[in-house]
Amino acid sequence: MLTKNIKNTEYMLPLPTYDIIKTAYANKGFTYFEGTTPYNLNLWGIRKQYGEIDLFDDLLGVSYLDESGQPRLYAHHATVDPGKYYLITKTGNHNGTFILAPGQYRGCWKTGNHGSSRYLALVQKPNYTGFKGWRDSILNGIIDRNLKTDGTFYTDVKGLNMHRSNTSYQSLVGRYSSGCQVRQCYGCHSIMMDIISKALHYFSNSFSYTLFEEEDVFPTSNTTTRGNNSTQKIRKWPEDFIKIHN
């Protein structure tokens, strides 16, 4: 039985199936966790290729086999990009706001308390330095994917967590992400943490995360564009199509 906890809207990505996600892992050469032990979780995100700044138009999900060996998949509205506040008002770091690059990050998170309200979430392990990404210090409201001066990714991010917004259903990202992977819905985060708690009955407190681009999971879904304009030529990083959501 396949379970999905998301409503499809005009700006959202298509919904993946268990097999689609598993195939995406294989195509990228990433490790997909299954085996005979239940709750061997695959935590993943999908970045909408032509999304819009400050909207929760990406996906965060989990797929695994339950106690009966049946595939389960939950997908939630989310953002994998920083919010408008950190792209136009202030940066989250003196080198610029962090934008996580696609990839598989093994053993990056554990359960812990997030933010000033100290609620339970997945938090970056203190000694984990495997996250790679770009930084944006321009404050022009556009996601500028800048590398280090030597042309390599930044790997200095700290506190890159998987958490939620602080309301039942936040409409805009705003300050809720300066690079974290953030679910839009309070209740969806609770579902995720319930699954995490079950996994901890079988596995240690260490979780991997895989971030995909839309085209990695849906290779034919190239008609969606930033700003709802399907007439623009498809490009890899069409930054000039990005709009700030007012």
Amino acid at position 178, single letter: S
How large a percentage of the chain has pLDDT more than 70? 85
Distance set, CA 151 to CA 74, 96, 119, 145, 154 (Å): 36, 16, 37, 11, 9
Res 10: pLDDT: 52
Res 52: pLDDT: 86
pTM (two decimals) = 0.88
> Three-state secondary structure along the chain?
CCCCCCCCCCCCCCCCCHHHHHHHHHHHCCCCCCCCCCCCCEEEEEECCCCCECCCCEEEEEEEECCCCCEEEEEEEEECCCCCHHHHCCCCCCCCEEEECCEEEEEEEEEEEECCCCEEEEEECCCCCCCCEEEECCCCCCCCCECCCCCCCECCCCCCCEEECCCCECCCCHHHCCCCEEECEHHHHHHHHHHHHHHCCCCCCCEEEEEEEHHHHCCCCCCCCHHHCCCCCCCCCCHHHCCECC
- CA-closest candidate to residue 221, choices 48, 94, 4: 48
Mean pLDDT over 193-201 rounds to: 98
Distance set, CA 199 to CA 69, 143, 172 (Å): 14, 35, 31
pLDDT digit string (tens) for 9-27?
556 789 999 999 999 999 9
Residue 227 scores a pLDDT above 70: no
Torsion of CA 52, 231, 235, 148, to 10 degrees: -40
Report yes or no: 175 and 83 within 8 Å, Cβ to Cβ. yes
Torsion of CA 19, 49, 74, 69, to 10 degrees: 20
Report yes or no: 21 and 46 within 8 Å, Cβ to Cβ. no
pLDDT digit string (tens) for 68-98?
999 999 999 999 999 999 999 999 799 999 9
Residue 221: pLDDT band with limits 50, 70, 90: low
- CA-closest candidate to residue 60, choices 50, 74, 71, 41: 74
Mean pLDDT over 141-148 rounds to: 92
In sequence order, what are the residues at sequence separation of 6 or more whose Cβ sits closer than 8 angstroms to the Cβ of residue 161? 109, 112, 114, 121, 122, 123, 124, 180, 181
